[in-house]
Structure formats: C-alpha cells, structure tokens
C-alpha cells in the first residue's frame, strides 16, 4: 500500500492510497489470474457503496474528474487495465472529494476490489459509519 499526502500552493491536502500488493495476490481457481488487490466484502463493501453512491465505469467518468485524477492513481489504473483478464471493468465510486477506483469481476456473484482512493483517503471505516449515521 502507498499512502501520500500532497499539498499545493493553497495548502490543500490531498491523500492518495493505493492497494496494489503482489505479495498478497491470490487465485480462486487456476483459470483466474492472481489478484493483487484487497477484495471488498461484507460490511466494508456495504459501507463504501453507501458512502460513495455515484458509481461510473472508468470510460464514462466526466472529463473534469478524469482530468483531476492524481498521476499516481492514473498509474495504478493503467496497471490494473493492462493486466490481462484481471477485471471485467473498473469503476470510480465517488461523492464530493472522496473517489475510489474499484475493480469489478462479474459472474454468478459480482466481486469488488480496491485499487486506489484519493481525496479524503485517510478516512477509516469507523469514520464512514459515523458520517453515514450523521446524514439525514
């Protein structure tokens, strides 16, 4: 995992968290490539889906969001796209300031994998729960 904090001239803090880790790659079957990203399952998956309600395929992301993706995140997305048969598609899940790139594998049961988060990437699952409870 890579975590960076970047500041620009306006002292805006941008956090970037990437999840690629070839040491933790796993295969479900010998027909599948090893997946070097953590799988989103159970409560974690449900929380991120509720907290980041806008989900678009990478190819359908508005130009203004695509143009503001940090270089490190773009590198991770390119790496995920270039690996043969890794994901059926990549989605960007977002709300203002908190996007996350998610690899998706379809089939009998759709599976989701964290590729990268940026913006308020330091946000923990406990903080997500709290923010969801505070929303009207």
114 neighbors 104 (Cβ within 8 angstroms):
no
Asked whether the beta carbons of 52 and 93 are under 8 A apart, the reply is yes
Closest CA relative to residue 123, chosen from 7, 44, 36, 23: 44
Nearest to 113 by CA among 54, 53, 31, 35: 35
pLDDT in tens, the chain (136 residues): 444 444 444 444 556 677 666 655 555 555 666 788 899 999 999 999 999 998 989 888 777 666 778 888 888 898 898 888 889 999 999 887 678 999 999 988 999 999 988 876 567 788 888 888 776 5
Enter the pTM of the model: 0.77
CA distance 79 to 131: 32
């Amino acid at each position: 995992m890579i975590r960076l904090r970047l500041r620009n001239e306006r002292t805006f803090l941008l956090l970037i968290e990437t999840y690629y880790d070839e040491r933790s790659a796993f295969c479900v079957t010998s027909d599948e490539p090893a997946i070097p990203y953590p799988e989103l399952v159970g409560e974690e998956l449900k929380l991120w889906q509720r907290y980041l309600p806008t989900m678009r395929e990478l190819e359908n992301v508005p130009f203004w969001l695509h143009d503001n993706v940090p270089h490190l995140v773009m590198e991770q997305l390119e790496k995920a796209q270039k690996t043969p048969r890794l994901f059926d598609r990549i989605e960007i899940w977002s709300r203002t300031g908190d996007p996350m790139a998610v690899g998706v594998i379809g089939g009998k049961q759709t599976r989701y994998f964290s590729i990268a988060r940026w913006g308020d990437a330091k946000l923990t699952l406990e903080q997500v729960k709290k923010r969801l409870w505070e929303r009207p």
